[in-house]
């Protein structure tokens, strides 16, 4: 049974494989002799033509467009606005951050798509870093995703699920309380158990979750338009927020933080202001999470070199417009000081406009969106651990499917095909993050972990342009595309680390422990 990979919105996508088509990439031997070694892929035309694929190339640009939109639009657009608004001096600046996040998503997706057509492999960016920068870089990418990025993502989504439910009842300031944290753990447990039943059971839930995100975004945008029309018809009518037509969208204003303190932007220096902007950008990047999944679409396109860029260049602008429209609606529906203090801005907006009954409906829709994202990310977290274990970077225990414990490492005779051991690992790590962290701190931590390796991957793509100019690249965007991503994401990572030293310190500890584990395991393999 072929492996598959699932996105943060619960949409299953097949793992990238080669195809007979001329445009398909050569094969990489990810299990060569020795501990974690690989052989470099050949770049000859013959190697391309000899590859046989598992999946039929029967998708076109329209199907790819729909898949990308479904992957990227998730819970972030309903939860990140508060974290972004807290770290910018004006609503107009917040919308610019959303736009910049979309540009980064576009340039990153284009570059990763280039690598995916030249260097095949599973595990996200790991095979690209392994090929370009070496085994240690590939291992650290896998370690960071399994130990930090994916568990932090699960923790964030579990917290958002609980906060969305409570916000419908008007409770928006208890996220740090132990009851909320324990409820978040319970939600995570339910989704982990659902993923442990079987792959088929997990994927059957996906179709139901996909539609809810579009319905919820449309409801928010329509509500915002209704407020504008009502205000035009009767300027004195008290509906929605009043700041959007009484104040300048780009003028500095004091920002109310979740703890009740205020940020006076007029008194901040340029360096501190850039730090806040980098933190805001992490919130936007979380909302665009999934842009790198464009690589999983190319495996089934009839003509990847032509259809993949067409899908990327149409889907991502559509997503950016949707996100900008939803966030503009938030600033119309709510007083601006409220947006910065809530992590459930959509529910808060609908509740204030239409009452608690409609707020409950909105909360249910958003909880379904988050549940789909949580289910998908739990699915992905387990598969990433399996991919690392298959390379002998993790204990073989985590490559087992269908059973719990070390005895499962043999042939799977269970009715379940779920990587239960790997799912348990991700559940335990995510529980730790829930108990010791909070939504906004975890957003920054997640962004630092992801974008460090996204930056290295795109920088590697630039290096590869000069190191191996003859490498067959069916899709090759202009060099300015990866350069833009590398420059902006590199600055965001550095400034974000300075601005959030605690999260950066935890990430450094994760890397140090990973390197220690890598060398200890390598020495153990040498002895055995």
DSSP line for 250-277: TS--PEEPTTS-EE-GGG--HHHHHHHH
Distance between CA 465 and CA 25 in Å, rounded?
16
Distance between CA 385 and CA 395 in Å, rounded?
10
| pLDDT of res. 25 | 38
Specify whether the CB–CB gap between 108 and 270 falls below 8 A.
no
At 488-499, the pLDDT tens digits run 889 889 988 888
Distance between CA 128 and CA 460 in Å, rounded?
8
Distance between CA 219 and CA 230 in Å, rounded?
16
Domain locations along the chain: 4-288+306-527
Percent of the chain with pLDDT over 70: 77
Residue whose C-alpha is closest to residue 385's, from 411, 416, 424: 424
The mean pLDDT of 109-124, rounded to a whole number, is 79
At 29-66, the pLDDT tens digits run 433 333 433 333 443 333 333 334 434 566 677 777 77
> Counting Cβ atoms within 10 Å, is residue 467 exposed (0-12), middle (13-18) or buried (19+)?
exposed
Residue 415 tokens, joined: 């009715």
Residue 210 tokens, joined: 């996909």
Distance between CA 162 and CA 152 in Å, rounded?
16
Provide the CATH number for the domain formed by 4-288+306-527 in this structure.
1.20.1740.10
| pLDDT of res. 324 | 95
Q: CB within 8 A of 199, min separation 6: which ones? A: 1, 4, 379, 417, 418
| pLDDT of res. 249 | 94
Residue 358 tokens, joined: 């409609």
The mean pLDDT of 303-326, rounded to a whole number, is 85
Residue 304 tokens, joined: 């990847």
- Average pLDDT score over the chain: 78
> Which of the two residues, 146 and 292, has the higher pLDDT score?
146
Local structure of residue 290 (DSSP, 8 states): T
pLDDT exceeds 60 at position 2: no
> Which of the two residues, 7 and 405, has the higher pLDDT score?
405
Q: Where are the alpha helices (DSSP H) in 13-72?
A: 45-50, 61-72
Specify whether the CB–CB gap between 5 and 380 falls below 8 A.
yes
pLDDT exceeds 70 at position 187: yes
Directed axis angle between helix 420-436 and helix 178-197, to 10°? 170
Q: CB within 8 A of 52, min separation 6: which ones? A: 18, 19, 20
Distance between CA 125 and CA 121 in Å, rounded?
9
Residue 194 tokens, joined: 């659902």
The CA-atom distances, in angstroms, between 441 and each of 83, 94, 156, 166 are: 10, 19, 10, 20
| Terminal-to-terminal C-alpha distance of the chain | 31
Residue 27: pLDDT band (50, 70, 90) is very low
């Amino acid at each position: 049974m072929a492996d598959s990979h699932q996105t943060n919105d619960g949409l299953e996508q097949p793992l990238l494989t080669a195809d007979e088509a001329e445009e398909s990439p050569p094969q990489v031997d990810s299990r060569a002799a020795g501990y974690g070694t690989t052989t470099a892929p050949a770049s000859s035309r013959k190697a391309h033509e000899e590859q046989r694929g598992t999946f039929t190339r029967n998708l076109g640009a329209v199907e790819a467009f729909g898949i990308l939109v479904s992957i990227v639009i998730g819970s972030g657009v309903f939860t990140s606005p508060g974290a972004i608004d807290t770290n910018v001096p004006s609503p107009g600046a917040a919308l610019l951050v959303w736009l910049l996040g979309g540009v980064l998503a576009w340039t990153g997706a284009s570059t990763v798509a280039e690598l995916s057509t030249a260097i095949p492999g599973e595990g996200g960016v790991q095979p690209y870093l392994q090929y370009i920068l070496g085994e240690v870089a590939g291992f650290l990418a896998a370690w960071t995703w399994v130990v930090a990025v994916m568990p932090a993502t699960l923790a964030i989504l579990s917290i958002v699920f609980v906060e969305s439910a409570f916000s419908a009842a008007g409770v928006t300031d208890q996220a740090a309380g132990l009851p909320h944290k324990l409820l978040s753990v319970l939600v995570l447990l339910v989704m982990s158990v659902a993923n442990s039943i079987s792959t088929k059971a997990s994927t059957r839930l996906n179709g139901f979750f996909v539609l809810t995100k579009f319905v919820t975004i449309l409801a928010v945008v329509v509500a915002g338009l209704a407020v504008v029309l009502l205000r035009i018809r009767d300027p004195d009518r008290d509906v929605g927020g009043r700041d959007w037509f009484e104040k300048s969208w780009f003028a500095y204003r004091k920002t109310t933080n979740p703890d009740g303190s205020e940020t006076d932007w007029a008194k901040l220096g340029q360096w501190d202001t850039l730090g806040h902007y980098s933190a805001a950008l992490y919130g936007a990047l979380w909302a665009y999470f999934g842009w790198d999944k464009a690589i999983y679409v190319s495996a089934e396109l009839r003509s990847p070199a032509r259809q993949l860029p067409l899908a990327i260049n149409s889907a991502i602008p559509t997503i950016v417009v949707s996100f900008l429209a939803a966030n503009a609606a938030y600033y119309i529906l709510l007083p601006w000081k409220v947006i910065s203090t809530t992590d459930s801005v959509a529910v808060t907006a609908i509740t204030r406009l239409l009452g608690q009954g409609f707020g409950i409906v909105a909360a249910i829709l958003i909880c379904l969106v988050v549940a789909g994202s949580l289910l998908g990310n739990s699915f992905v977290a387990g598969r990433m651990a399996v991919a690392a274990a298959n390379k002998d970077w993790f204990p073989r225990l985590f490559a087992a499917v269908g059973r719990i414990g070390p005895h499962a490492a043999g042939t799977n005779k269970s009715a379940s095909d779920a990587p239960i051991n790997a799912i348990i690992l991700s559940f335990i790590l995510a529980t730790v993050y829930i108990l010791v962290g909070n939504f906004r701190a975890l957003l920054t931590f997640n962004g630092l972990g992801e974008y460090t390796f996204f930056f290295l991957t795109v920088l590697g793509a630039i290096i590869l342009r000069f190191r191996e100019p003859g490498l067959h690249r069916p899709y090759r965007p202009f060099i300015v595309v990866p350069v833009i991503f590398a420059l902006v994401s590199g600055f965001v990572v550095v400034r974000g680390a300075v601005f959030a030293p605690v999260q950066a310190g935890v990430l450094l500890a994760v890397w140090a422990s990973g390197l220690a584990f890598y060398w200890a395991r390598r020495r153990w393999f040498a002895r055995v």
